[in-house]
Amino acid sequence: MTHQASPINFHRMSEFITKLKRTHHLNQLTRADAGKKVVLMGWVDTRRDHGGLIFVDLRDREGITQIVFNPQVDAKTHELGGELRTEYCLAIRGEVRPRPDGMANPKLKTGEIEVLVEEFQILNRSKTPPFVLEDEIDVNEETRLKYRYLDLRRGSLKRNIILRSRVSQIVRAYLVDHGFLEIETPFLTKSTPEGARDYLVPSRIHHGHFYALPQSPQLFKQLLMVAGFERYFQIVRCFRDEDLRADRQPEFTQIDIEVSFLSRDDFLDIMEGLIAEVWKKMLDIDISLPIPRLSYDECMERYGLDAPDTRFALELKTVTPIFQNSGFKVFGEIARSGGSIKALVVKGKSDFSRSEIDDLTKFAGIYGAKGLAYIKILENEWQSPIAKFLSDDEKQQLQKTLGFKAGDIVFFGAGTTKIVNDSLGNLREHIGRKLKLCDPKKYNFVWVVDFPLFDWDEEEKRPVAVHHPFTSPKWDELSLLESEPLKCHANAYDLVLNGNEIGGGSLRIHDAGIQQKVFDLLKISKEEAQVKFGFLLEALQYGAPPHGGIAFGLDRLIMLLTGCDNIRDVIAFPKTQKATDPMTEAPSTVDPKQLLELGISVTKK
């Protein structure tokens, strides 16, 4: 496997390194540097050994520069250069010179020049990497993660990580400039009910007691407002022990923000300014402000989802009333029993084939839809498995409400409002992708506002907080808390980009009485509230200011900025879908001594 190699002379190396200081990164040298003596350090990206001449692409964080070993410059150096292999780590000293006529490489930033090696030192040899370190090479995820430090040498991943660093700096600069203080909050904290499963950390000092890693610094940032810091932010790791997805990791990063004394709109203005700043500086794209605001109710009506892709129309329309007295049994019964019937008109697609429609039906089925009725509107007839059940009046009303034309196809979702919105809303985006209706260069931001405060949990027979239990009801709906809490809206908002939720937040309850009332409605007993959130209820009684905030998902933001469709590609050391790390082999068993100290015994599954 490994070829014969002379040993590295460490004595000579230390001499070489102390004598030499790197003069340039590998993206820097141009024609203007011709004639300069330079010292470069980096890794062998590729080598092209011609026997006589050896070309090596030397790579560092910033770029690639071609270096040349020529026997006429130094026979010994050239001979030793023959030993070089991919990923060897090198220091070289040499002279910059323009490449011969016609030999420039326009693909390289430094393609006009090359460096003639006069002297070099192998700083470290490398085993042959388990995969070729080029962007285009597909490699199994497990192998990539096991050798993450090699995968990170590849251009695309490296660029993402560098871009991520820049975004963090832009965010910091903007927020500090707007009077925000960066304040850290604890990672070893208290488990809270509601929300996601916690990652727990056992206490050695208190056997049987556990810290929880924060799902977000929610309560601490509110307490910072009570403390009077007025404007807080933190780029902070959050932990949720739930199943993973392409855009979800068990530990992820939020840009966490909280402010006091600001109206919702004044706050959102500052926040969209932040996003606009990031888009301007990273992509040189001007987002037109203000970002449009869409109420949750209207959003669900038109798009079926709370994070709509507004780059294309193709909106849903409710047609439930048309079927109130329908003889068409399926639709009629759903309409009369409080369900929903919604339609999706796809223009000019009456030529969808049977198998395409089958696929769409299957797709809708993922979200619980029992079927997917459709009507193909042809010149002279409606081609449809359900048309024969519809009365002339119903047909006329459909035509009037939906405004379809010959050549269109109409899909119907019927069932509970939740399933109809979910299946038809996702179908809308599926068809949008299928028909390429969304422009990948377009960035359509929208604030979805006025979420419901509560959702009904059928299993537990109680309301649950849609956002979290500290979200303030709309001020003008406070009375609804008493009468019809499920109809109460929240002072909550999400920022949505092209169908992705990139941030969400709310104004908070700053009154202990209202907070207690909400706990009551959530069926969190006084005792439980006292045990879990006593410190918050207490704090709210010491002149807590009106406050609110937001958290942006930094990982998702970077995904959208880089066009990545997987969160692992924007995190330096991510986990597999089973939440393991093939490199460190975490999670792992631990020494029994550690368990003993913690007072923990492990049971078999």
Of 450-489, which residues contact RNA (CB under 7 A)?
Answer: 451, 466-467
Least Å from the CB of residue 513 to RNA: 24
Question: Which residue, 165 or 577, has its beta carbon nearer to RNA?
Answer: 577
Question: Which residue, 4 or 601, has its beta carbon nearer to RNA?
Answer: 4
Per-position b or e across 376-410, b if 16+ CB within 10 A of its CB: bbeeeebebeebebbeeebeebbeeebebeeebbb
Stretch in the footprint of RNA (CB under 7 A) among 70-78, 308-316, 335-343, 439-447? 70-78
For position 576 contacting RNA by CB under 7 A, the verdict is yes
Footprint (CB under 7 A) of RNA, residues 504-563? 504, 551
Distance CA 494, CA 448 (A): 5
Footprint (CB under 7 A) of RNA, residues 114-143? 114, 128, 130-132, 137-143
Q: Residue type for 387, please?
A: A
Question: What character string, x for contact with RNA (CB under 7 A) and - otherwise, covers 19-58?
Answer: ---------------------------x-xxxxxx-x-x-
Least Å from the CB of residue 151 to RNA: 11
Phi and psi at 600, nearest 5°, equal -115, 135
Among 176, 246, 313, 590, binds RNA (CB under 7 A): 246
Least Å from the CB of residue 105 to RNA: 3
> Looking at the DSSP assignment, which residues form a beta bridge with residue 189?
212
Footprint (CB under 7 A) of RNA, residues 279-308? 306
**Distant-in-sequence, close-in-space partners of 507: CB < 8 Å, separation ≥ 6:** 264, 471, 472, 491, 492, 546, 547, 548
Question: Which residue, 164 or 467, has its beta carbon nearer to RNA?
Answer: 467
Stretch in the footprint of RNA (CB under 7 A) among 17-25, 158-166, 195-203, 515-523? 195-203
Least Å from the CB of residue 6 to RNA: 12
User: Distance from CA of residue 475 to its chain's centroid?
Assistant: 32
Number of residues engaging RNA in binding (CB under 7 A): 71
Among 399, 479, 525, 566, binds RNA (CB under 7 A): 566
Footprint (CB under 7 A) of RNA, residues 402-431? 422
For position 583 contacting RNA by CB under 7 A, the verdict is no
Question: Which residue, 195 or 546, has its beta carbon nearer to RNA?
Answer: 195
Among 156, 577, 584, 594, binds RNA (CB under 7 A): 577
Stretch in the footprint of RNA (CB under 7 A) among 35-43, 64-72, 225-233, 393-401? 64-72
Least Å from the CB of residue 245 to RNA: 4
413 three-class SS: strand
CA nearest 220: which of 522, 546, 474, 539? 539
What one-character-per-residue DSSP string does 26-79 give? TT---GGGTT-EEEEEEEEEEEEE-SS-EEEEEE-SS-EEEEEE-TTT-HHHHH
> Looking at the DSSP assignment, which residues form a beta bridge with residue 465?
454
Q: Residue 243: is it exposed, middle or buried by C-beta count within 10 angstroms (0-12/13-18/19+)?
A: exposed
Are 408 and 346 contacting, i.e. CB atoms less than 8 angstroms apart? yes
Distance CA 260, CA 467 (A): 19
Stretch in the footprint of RNA (CB under 7 A) among 1-9, 182-190, 352-360, 509-517? 1-9
What one-character-per-residue DSSP string does 211-238 give? EE--S-SHHHHHHHHHTT--EEEEEEEE
C-beta neighbour count of 189 within 10 angstroms: 17
Rounded-to-10 torsion of CA 219, 220, 222, 224: 170
Distance CA 283, CA 289 (A): 16
Least Å from the CB of residue 89 to RNA: 15
For position 265 contacting RNA by CB under 7 A, the verdict is no
For position 199 contacting RNA by CB under 7 A, the verdict is no
DSSP state of 8: P
Least Å from the CB of residue 446 to RNA: 16
Footprint (CB under 7 A) of RNA, residues 317-346? none
Question: Which residue, 244 or 437, has its beta carbon nearer to RNA?
Answer: 244
For position 580 contacting RNA by CB under 7 A, the verdict is yes
Among 33, 60, 112, 247, binds RNA (CB under 7 A): 247
**Distant-in-sequence, close-in-space partners of 155: CB < 8 Å, separation ≥ 6:** 134, 135
Least Å from the CB of residue 501 to RNA: 7
Among 31, 37, 159, 245, binds RNA (CB under 7 A): 245
Least Å from the CB of residue 578 to RNA: 4
Among 21, 388, 400, 578, binds RNA (CB under 7 A): 578
Which runs of E-coded beta strand occur in 60-185?
64-69, 89-98, 113-124, 181-182
Footprint (CB under 7 A) of RNA, residues 154-193? none
Least Å from the CB of residue 546 to RNA: 21
Footprint (CB under 7 A) of RNA, residues 77-106? 85-86, 99-100, 103-105
Number of helices (H) and strands (E) in the chain: give both, helices first: 17, 22
Q: Residue 45: is it exposed, middle or buried by C-beta count within 10 angstroms (0-12/13-18/19+)?
A: buried
For position 196 contacting RNA by CB under 7 A, the verdict is yes
Least Å from the CB of residue 48 to RNA: 4
Least Å from the CB of residue 34 to RNA: 13
Footprint (CB under 7 A) of RNA, residues 360-379? 366-368
